[in-house]
Amino acid sequence: MPSSVAKEGYQFQRANSRNQQSSSCPSRSASGSPAAVTPPSCDDVVDEALAELQLQSQQQKQKQKQMIHSVKGRSGWQIKSSKLAFNTHNRIRNIVESLKIKPNPEKPMIPLSIGDPTTFGNLKAADETMKAVLHSLESGKFNGYAHTQGHEASRQAVAQYSAHQRPEGAIETSDVVLCSGCSSALEYCILALADRGQNVLIPRPGFCLYHTLAEGLDIEVRYYDLLPDQQWRADLVQLESLIDENTAALLINNPSNPCGSVFDEKHLRQLIDVCERHYLPIIADEIYEHFVFPGSKHLAVSSLTREVPVLSCGGLTKRFLVPGWRMGWIIVHDRKQRLGNAVIGLKNMCGRILGSNTIIQGALPEILAKTPQSYFDGVIQVLYSNASLAYKMLKQVRGLNPVMPNGAMYMMIGVSIERFPAFKDDTHFVQELVNEQSVFCLPGSCFEYPGYVRIVLTVPLAMIEEACVRIAEFCERHYKKEDSSRSFIEHGLLDEEELGF
């Protein structure tokens, strides 16, 4: 209805109302003087009522505005971080960035801190791996979205490649989830199994990313200890003491970053027994599953149990030397269907970023099938030679206690910090090692394990040798000597024949 018509209708009704009300209004005296009781006119009553209604309406609107302003609570720009983002921290970044580093300008920097095997150029992806990506790109078939779990053929290739993880039967394509790197795979597993207020058990020393992925979501991290004098096996008694009704999963990293340890079958079965007694699923970080040195053997934990469900995380990153390609995966091993709707939750997680890189997905079948074993053997030989050299050199240095790794790309070196009174802890030790010798290791504090440093083994052999010589010189200068007649490294102790090269 037009507003003019509405107003006219309202005025007409009001006029009629006044005429009707006037007949019932109290009369006045002939002289015009009011009677004994003179009520207000009907017009006045109506006007006052309308005014009161208008006042109430205005007050109500003002009150609503005040309430809205109170809810918004903003008098200016007040943008805040989300709780998840604010509580997400990378421990390595935090520690490294706090160091006061000024490398010695007279010595080239040797960064033994970087876990990227491609950094130094001595380790490169195989030709077959590179050609597979070229073929995928040129085909033009993989430029669009894939299924959120990954292309069917790509998942099938991963299932065949990982058949050793389930020797009693085939891995189904539906058991494979492709992710954006192994770190994404780990995040999916943690978030699928653990809720806010629950806890997960992770190794100490261990990869700091586990803590980073959990803490922002109020998932508690509980550390179970690895024992350096037992080749970094888990302290089973201490581990079991951490378990309660809110424990969601046990995370096993085998082979280990930062320890380079490889668990034998007996110890893996001990860990499985703990999980079976307490009804705990296992998250298996097995990104280094094929990085095993001569004399050791890796066994997938899923190959040793049908009772305990296992989510195994792997990828191309390390073995194929392509960390920047961000291709990881999860394989669900749940023979007794005990994960329940956690599997649905895991697959729902894939919808958050709509799948991983499709060009690399398209190359997966060719990469996994055609990269020759001789290539992998060559990479392992480089790492093993570096580990052997570093161990033989550093074990002769007083104040240091290296632990020979059996796999992966790292070595942990104990530092008897009390023998180096100039340094208050392992972080201070690392800082001054950079400043004096331009050799950068990571302090054990990055892995929740002070009193140690970690070095990477992916550098050229000459570089690892030079780094160890500098570390020895640094220790000789700062070690609190008890017998000044004995030098750190005896003459002739590190000749080529002794080192086996």
353 shares its domain with 421: no
180 shares its domain with 306: yes
Mean pLDDT of 76-102: 81
85 occurs within a structural domain: no
pLDDT band at 110 (very low <50, low <70, confident <90, very high): very high
157 occurs within a structural domain: yes
53 occurs within a structural domain: no
Residue 384 has pLDDT above 80, yes or no: yes
Q: Give CA 294 to chain center in angstroms.
A: 31
- Give the pLDDT of residue 233: 98
314 shares its domain with 420: no
11 occurs within a structural domain: no
| 496 Cβ contact partners less than 8 Å away, ≥ 6 residues apart | none
CATH number at residue 178: 3.40.640.10
Q: How far apart are CA 75 and CA 457, in angstroms?
A: 56
- Which residues make beta-bridge pairs with 444? none
| % residues pLDDT > 70 (the chain) | 84
pLDDT tens digits along 198-252: 999 999 999 999 999 998 788 999 999 999 999 999 999 999 999 999 999 999 9
pLDDT band at 40 (very low <50, low <70, confident <90, very high): low
Phi, psi of 422 (to 5 degrees): -75, -15
Residue 4 has pLDDT above 50, yes or no: no
- Give the pLDDT of residue 27: 45
Q: Give CA 489 to chain center in angstroms.
A: 41
Taking a C-beta distance cutoff of 8 angstroms, is the pair 425, 465 a contact? no
187 occurs within a structural domain: yes
The dihedral region occupied by 400, where left means phi > 0, alpha psi between -120 and 50, and beta the remainder, is beta
224 shares its domain with 366: yes
Q: How far apart are CA 430 and CA 435, in angstroms?
A: 9
455 shares its domain with 312: no
- Give the pLDDT of residue 87: 81
Mean pLDDT of 272-279: 98
Token code pair at residue 77: 């720009």
Out of 341, 371, 401, a domain closes at 371
Query: In the predicted model, what is the mean pLDDT of the chain?
Result: 87
Out of 334, 355, 371, a domain closes at 371
- Give the pLDDT of residue 19: 46
486 shares its domain with 462: yes
398 occurs within a structural domain: yes
Mean pLDDT of 260-278: 98
- Give the pLDDT of residue 99: 77
- Give the pLDDT of residue 353: 87
20 occurs within a structural domain: no
103 shares its domain with 165: no
Number of domains in the chain: 2
- Give the pLDDT of residue 167: 92
Taking a C-beta distance cutoff of 8 angstroms, is the pair 168, 147 a contact? no
214 shares its domain with 187: yes
385 shares its domain with 343: no
Out of 347, 371, 395, a domain closes at 371
Among the ranges given (61-70, 119-128, 207-216), the one the predictor scored with the smallest mean pLDDT: 61-70
Overall pTM > 0.95: no
pLDDT band at 491 (very low <50, low <70, confident <90, very high): very low
Residue 389 has pLDDT above 90, yes or no: yes
Phi, psi of 183 (to 5 degrees): -60, -40
152 shares its domain with 295: yes
pLDDT band at 64 (very low <50, low <70, confident <90, very high): low
The residue among 244, 206, 240, 208 whose CA lies nearest residue 226 is: 206
CATH number at residue 426: 3.90.1150.10
Q: How far apart are CA 321 and CA 409, in angstroms?
A: 12
The residue with greater pLDDT, 24 or 434, is 434
Taking a C-beta distance cutoff of 8 angstroms, is the pair 250, 279 a contact? no
Among the ranges given (69-73, 128-132, 270-274, 341-345), the one the predictor scored with the smallest mean pLDDT: 69-73
The residue with greater pLDDT, 226 or 35, is 226
Mean pLDDT of 41-53: 64
Give 115's DSSP letter: -
Q: How far apart are CA 307 and CA 91, in angstroms?
A: 35
446 shares its domain with 322: no
134 occurs within a structural domain: yes
Q: Give the range of the structural domain holding residue 285, as residue numbers without chain letter.
A: 127-371
Among the ranges given (61-70, 168-177, 312-321, 334-343), the one the predictor scored with the smallest mean pLDDT: 61-70
Task: DSSP for 4-58, please give it.
Answer: HHHHHHHHHHHHHHHHHHHTTSPP--TTS---SS-PPPHHHHHHHHHHHHHHHHH
Report helix, strand or coil for 378: helix
418 shares its domain with 360: no
